Amino acid sequence: MDYKSCCEGFDVVGNKTIGFLNGKFLLGSEQKLSIFQGHCKVQNGKIKSFDQDSTGYDVVIDLKGSLVTPSLINAHVHLGETLFQGLKGRWSLEQYLMLAERWNNQLDGMKEDAWIHSAHVTVNEMIRYGTSVFCAARSGEIAQKHGLMAFSGYPLMESKKLNSFLINGFEKYAQFVENTIILGHRPGIFLHSLYSNRPSTLELARKCLSYASSFLTIHIAETIETRRKVIDKWGKPDIDILYQYGMLDDNTILVHGGYCSLEELKVISGMGSKLVLCPVSNQRLGTKCLNPNVLESEGIKWCLGTDGLATGITADLFQHMRLMKGMFSDIEEWKLWASVTYWAAQVLGIEDSNGKLDVGFNADFCVFQAETPDSVEEILHWLVFQEQKLLTLYIKGYKIKAKKTEIPCLYKPKQPLTINILTQLK
């Protein structure tokens, strides 16, 4: 990954040893968290040691007692939906998808430029809130420009906006995989939903997955209406169809699932598939978020994602943790923290390199510029509930800066974005 355009302060060429001195490091994961006060040695982008030795570094960063945690992981985001950030009033999922489709039709020849601007704004917002890894469609090149790691999905959806990805789809996917790997990211399939695709597209997805893929991600049972659409179209619910097509396994990342039955959750568990929950988006659209306690009782690994920033509102995963706690008050704070760090790494299959601070892991840090508590329990509470948190993001030991960027007005619908806009767009 080329960090020259996004890292601050250091020549990243070579094997310099970086010392992060005088930090308060939150080590470990899940219930095995601990505080280490001292120094961290980083070499070749990896954590080499935590110790009290302040010598032997090529570059020194004095943390002055700052809290250092693993950076965050956003397991589900849509880069192009920031065009519609600022929805006002009540919206359903169907109305929102209609807005996106009609506005993209209106953009016509400008829609790719609009998407690129939206993607840059989205990634910068993720950087601002400490995210180093994310999963989104067509995200490799954008992530590369900003120094983040992407799980980049090839989008499959039978819509006017994305129809071009279906034409010669397998050949385009093979090239997409090659380009994504060259950039140092993970390629996969973003299959939007089963109600928006026919068997021919599922056959294409299956062929692509057998060729080369790190993951398949798909929206399932997001609303009662979309669940009904799938059953009307296919004669059975999402999980049965994915199982039938051999597309339900431990590389399958299911999103939402609020209207899955208990029987379907048992199938998901048996196949080792994972779930990403997007509580802010669910609340914004008036839909149900799965109870994480139910998922855990069924042995299903889950984590949090923001969804697109139109319905997900913000890339601030701390805010998504707070809302999740509001929805499910009995959820323990260590689980909320795991859901944006180590569990999110498990969902993406990178738990051996990301999601916690440990020797041999990537040196991806959030450094907080604020006074923080000293015990693990108090720090977890602070991480979840402290609303204003100034932080600096480091990836592989180097500072990553968010850039000030905005989407030009000509690419966005006029505000306020109330439901009335649908009558103005054709």
Residue 79's closest CA among 133, 130, 117? 117
409 in any annotated domain: no
- Flag whether the pTM goes above 0.85: yes
Mean pLDDT over the full length of the chain = 95
Mark whether 189 and 318 lie in a shared domain. Answer: yes
129 in any annotated domain: yes
pLDDT attached to residue 388: 85
Mark whether 330 and 370 lie in a shared domain. Answer: no
Averaged pLDDT, 39-56 = 96
Mark whether 336 and 371 lie in a shared domain. Answer: no
Averaged pLDDT, 381-402 = 96
Q: What is the CATH number of the domain that holds 113?
A: 3.20.20.140
Side-chain-side CA neighbours of residue 68 (13 Å): 27
Mark whether 250 and 340 lie in a shared domain. Answer: yes
How far is 145 from 150, CA to CA, in rounded Å? 11
According to DSSP, residue 12 is labeled -
Q: For the chain, what is the largest distance between any 2 Cα atoms, rounded to a whole number of angstroms?
A: 67
Q: How many domains does the chain have?
A: 2
Angle of helix 224-234 relative to helix 93-107, nearest 10 degrees? 80
Mark whether 363 and 272 lie in a shared domain. Answer: no
The label of the residue with tokens 């995989």 reads 177
Please, which residues bridge with residue 18 across strands?
42, 59
| Domain final position from 348, 366, 392 | 348
pLDDT attached to residue 426: 76
Mark whether 195 and 297 lie in a shared domain. Answer: yes
What is the signed CA dihedral for 62, 131, 314, 195, rounded to 10 degrees? 180
406 in any annotated domain: no
364 in any annotated domain: yes
The label of the residue with tokens 């819509």 reads 159
pLDDT attached to residue 117: 98
Is the per-residue pLDDT at 1 higher than 70? no
Is the per-residue pLDDT at 159 higher than 80? yes
**Boundaries of domain holding 22:** 7-71+356-400
Roughly how many angstroms between the first and final C-alpha of the chain, as a whole number?
Answer: 42
